[in-house]
Amino acid sequence: MDLGLANRVVLITGAGGGVGPTLASAFAAEGAAVALHQRDAAKLGRAHEAADSIRSGGGRAIVVGADLRATDAIQSMVARVGDELGPVSVLVNATSAYRAEGLLEIGDDSWAAMVEDMLSATFRVSRAVAPAMRDAKWGRIVSFASRSALAGVARAPHYAAAKAGVIGLTSSLAKELGPGGILVNAVAPTQILTVKDGVPSIPDERAEKMARSIPLRRLATPDDVSGLVVWLASAANTYVTGETIPFTGGAKT
């Protein structure tokens, strides 16, 4: 199936994280040009490796860095992507900053930082790319929420609340931007099993225990979620907007 992504320009925030490189490769495989955003120095190498791999395969990819707490920095990043690749037509908000902290451990600064990293960043980048999408009368925004936003999670209420805010933002932007041909959705995955330098993100014993509660009897992989995100962001999706899609392998919230 032709997903209509050839020559589209995709911006992925947090692209050096566990899912980001796979997402970038999946979009590039459909002929899209990809801008991988990553500011965290510890993850920057993975973003560059993914971009190098895309370019070695004949695709177009760049790595960009911006402080997503700063509107000016975001605008400069979007302008650079426009200059080097073209106007952004697909945005994937994939930043992640999970921290395990109980209610009584969370200070005001920690709460504010989580909201900034998860919710405010999603808002600011979406706001920055919307004008070009409106001019083109076509655009797709896909944001990562979390199963935690739907079901709650002990010892990370700030994370769950910020991700719930992403769901509300998604619904609101879909209503506002829909008349301009822009579709806005979110995915709400449970934990995704990633591998870095041969080391799984979840130890085998714990992963096996978690899988027993999932009807598919396995954890999701970056390839699994990338397939859904790419479809939501593609021209093949003509009518799905304003939705938050649970991505749990059949496990109920």
Q: Name which residue leads in pLDDT, 249 or 199.
A: 249
Q: Is 165 helix (H, G, I), strand (E, B) or coil?
A: helix
Taking the C-alpha atoms of residue 250 and residue 232, their distance in angstroms, rounded to an integer, is 19
pLDDT tens readout for residues 128-139? 999 999 999 999
In percent, the amount of the chain with pLDDT more than 90 equals 88
pLDDT tens readout for residues 205-248? 888 998 999 999 999 999 999 999 999 999 999 999 999 999 99
Bridge partners of 173? none
In percent, the amount of the chain with pLDDT more than 70 equals 100
| pTM tops 0.75, yes or no | yes
Q: Return the number of other C-beta atoms located less than 10 Å from residue 43's C-beta.
A: 18
For 57, phi and psi rounded to 5 degrees?
-90, 5
Average pLDDT over residues 143-161: 95
Whole-number pLDDT of residue 253:
59
Catalytic residues: 159
pLDDT tens readout for residues 47-105? 999 999 999 999 999 999 999 999 999 999 999 999 999 999 999 999 988 899 999 99
Average pLDDT over residues 155-184: 98
Taking the C-alpha atoms of residue 244 and residue 163, their distance in angstroms, rounded to an integer, is 11
Q: What angle do CA 140, 179, 244 make, to 5 degrees?
A: 45
Q: Name which residue leads in pLDDT, 6 or 195.
A: 6
Whole-number pLDDT of residue 236:
98
Whole-number pLDDT of residue 208:
92
Q: Name which residue leads in pLDDT, 127 or 200.
A: 127
**Residue ranges of domains in the chain, CATH in brackets:** 9-247 (3.40.50.720)
Question: Would the pLDDT of 13 be above 80?
Answer: yes
Question: Would the pLDDT of 163 be above 70?
Answer: yes
Highest mean pLDDT: which of 93-107, 169-183, 198-212?
A: 169-183
Please enumerate in sequence order all residues whose Cβ is within 8 A of that of 23, keeping only pairs 6 or more positions apart, or say none: 12, 15, 92, 94, 222, 226, 229, 230
